[in-house]
Structure 1
Amino acid sequence: MRVVFKLFASLSDLLPAERRGNLVDIEVMPGTTVGDLITRYRVPEKSAHLVLVNGHYIAPAARNTHVLKEGDELAIWPPIAGG
């Protein structure tokens, strides 16, 4: 099944070269979780600050059990610092 995976700010460097901007349209196996993709793309756990699936927040405790569905969009932002 196909899902869209988006990484923002410095995390976008973790995406493969064939990405379009900050996203990739990828094929995943049924049963793939948010946590599976975080691991697959080597996103450091502490850098996966804001995680959304189709615009809905996924808490850290739910990431390894939230199963993705066909057409889902997973977006991850790192912590933002300002001054």
Structure 2
Amino acid sequence: MKVNFKLYASLGQYLPPGSVDHKVALDVADGMSPSRLLEQQGVPQAEVHLVLVNGVFIPPSQRDNPLVEGDELAVWPAVAGG
């Protein structure tokens, strides 16, 4: 199935070649979860802070729920500011 995968800020380094504007369309196995997709792409869980699926916040306890065809997974690291 196809999902849109977006990584922002310092996480952008984990996007595969050919990604444009911090995003890429990926073919993934049916039942792929946000946690598994991040692991598959080599994104360290310790760097993951904010996870959204189709613009809806996904708390850590729900990141093993399966994605469906056409979902958009967007992920941000923790950021500091002042």
Scaled to the shorter chain, the TM-score interval is: over 0.9
Other-structure match for 1:60: 60
Other-structure match for 2:74: 75
| Identical residues among aligned pairs (%) | 46
TM-score by length of 1: 0.93
Equivalent residue of 1:67, what SS?
coil
Unaligned runs of 5+ in 1: none
For residues 5 and 34 of structure 2, the distance between their equivalents in structure 1, rounded to whole angstroms, comes to 10
Equivalent residue of 1:61, what SS?
helix
For residues 17 and 27 of structure 1, the distance between their equivalents in structure 2, rounded to whole angstroms, comes to 14
Give the AA of the match of 1:81: A
Report the Cα offset of residue 61 of structure 1: 1.4
For residues 77 and 22 of structure 1, the distance between their equivalents in structure 2, rounded to whole angstroms, comes to 11
Other-structure match for 1:12: 12
RMSD of aligned residue pairs (Cα, Å): 0.8
Unaligned runs of 5+ in 2: none
For residues 33 and 17 of structure 2, the distance between their equivalents in structure 1, rounded to whole angstroms, comes to 23
TM-score by length of 2: 0.94
Q: After the TM superposition, which segments of 4 or more aligned residues of structure 1 sit over 2 Å from their partners?
A: none
How many correspondences in the alignment? 82
Report the Cα offset of residue 47 of structure 1: 1.2
CA-to-aligned-CA distance 1:47-77 (integer Å, 9 cap, x gap): 110000001111111112x110010000000
Report the Cα offset of residue 24 of structure 1: 0.8
